């Protein structure tokens, strides 16, 4: 019964022409860097002065989707603070993640 309800919710549209139901966030990940080596969408001094970043900012920094960042948090590969309402990921945690997962 639950599977039937789940399937119908994925295929049900709002009746508008051109309505497409997409799974996932649908947008490709942002390019890794612009000229100058800094991720697009972040000011040049932001990486140097900030101690923690939002999920969206980490996605831009790593060149992956926000959904992937949330998966990494859920799997315990990136540790995020939930002291506030949203995830905050410390700069050092991003560096640790890259060090731990780098190919040797």
In the chain, where are the structural domains located?
Answer: 38-104
| pLDDT averages per 10-residue partition of the chain, 104 residues | 42 45 48 51 76 95 96 96 92 95 79
Encode burial over 50-77: b for 16+ CB neighbours within 10 A, e otherwise: eebbebebbbbbbebbbebbbebbeeee
Helix (H) or strand (E) holding 6: helix 2-11
The model scores a pTM over 0.85: no
Could you say which of 1.10.10, 2.40.10, 2.60.40, 1.10.287 is the CATH number of the domain covering 38-104? 1.10.10
């Amino acid at each position: 019964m639950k599977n039937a309800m789940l399937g119908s919710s994925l295929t049900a549209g709002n009746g508008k022409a051109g309505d497409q139901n997409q799974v996932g966030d649908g947008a490709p990940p942002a390019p890794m860097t612009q000229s100058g080596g800094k991720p697009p969408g972040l000011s040049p001094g932001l990486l140097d002065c900030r101690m923690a970043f939002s999920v969206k900012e980490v996605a831009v920094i790593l060149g992956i989707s926000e959904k992937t960042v949330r998966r990494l948090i859920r799997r315990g590969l990136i540790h995020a603070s939930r002291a506030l309402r949203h995830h905050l990921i410390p700069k050092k945690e991003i560096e640790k993640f890259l060090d731990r997962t780098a190919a040797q």
